[in-house]
Amino acid sequence: MALMPKRVKFRKNHRGRCRGLAQRGNEVSFGDYGLKVLERGVIRGSQIEASRVALSRHLGTAGKYWIRVFPYKSYTAKPAETRMGKGKGDVAFWGCPVKPGQVVFEIAGVEESVAREAFRLQASKLPVKVKMVKRGALA
């Protein structure tokens, strides 16, 4: 089952622009280690779920993790080989626009080497470049 909001005021959003750096959600708040985004982009709900599964399988019962993003925005697409006009396309997926500096996942209760490997597995599931950061560390 894909991540998506239970209900929204409007089904179809404008895409808008995602400029600047992350002002909020740019520090490790809950865990000891975080996965920080280095470039702007859109993370789909299915990609968040795939990286969550990779993380939970690697950690097992050890440690605890937090997901700091949620796919709240709908993205539409028209079918292939369709002529222009005839309105906006159907919702193709739900995504979360992310800015550089935003922390998307956090881990606590495990050693640094375990966290590093878990984040490496997660990074392969995400469409943006990421790096591991420690709590309280600058940059």
> Does some domain include residue 121?
yes
Identify the H or E element spanning 64.
strand 64-67
Q: How far is Cα 91 from Cα 76, in angstroms, rounded to an integer?
A: 4
Instruction: Write out pLDDT tens, residues 36-66.
Output: 999 999 999 999 999 999 999 999 899 999 9
> Does some domain include residue 138?
no
- Length of the chain equals 139
Q: How far is Cα 32 from Cα 14, in angstroms, rounded to an integer?
A: 36
> Does some domain include residue 25?
no
- Give the burial class of 126: count Cβ atoms within 10 A of its Cβ; 0-12 exposed, 13-18 middle, 19 or more buried: buried
Cα–Cα distances (Å) from 65 to 33, 45, 135, in that order, read: 10, 17, 14
- What pTM was computed for the model? 0.90
- Integer-rounded Cα radius of gyration of the chain: 17
> Does some domain include residue 17?
no
Instruction: Write out pLDDT tens, residues 65-95.
Output: 999 999 999 999 999 999 999 999 999 999 9
The boundaries of the domain holding residue 64 are 33-79+87-133
> Does some domain include residue 104?
yes
Into how many domains does the chain fold?
1
> Does some domain include residue 24?
no
CATH no. for residue 103?
A: 3.90.1170.10
% residues pLDDT > 70 (the chain) = 98
pLDDT confidence of 135, banded at 50, 70, 90? Answer: confident
> Does some domain include residue 9?
no
Token pair listed for 53: 């599964």
Torsion angles phi and psi, residue 70, rounded to 5 = -145, 135
> Does some domain include residue 60?
yes
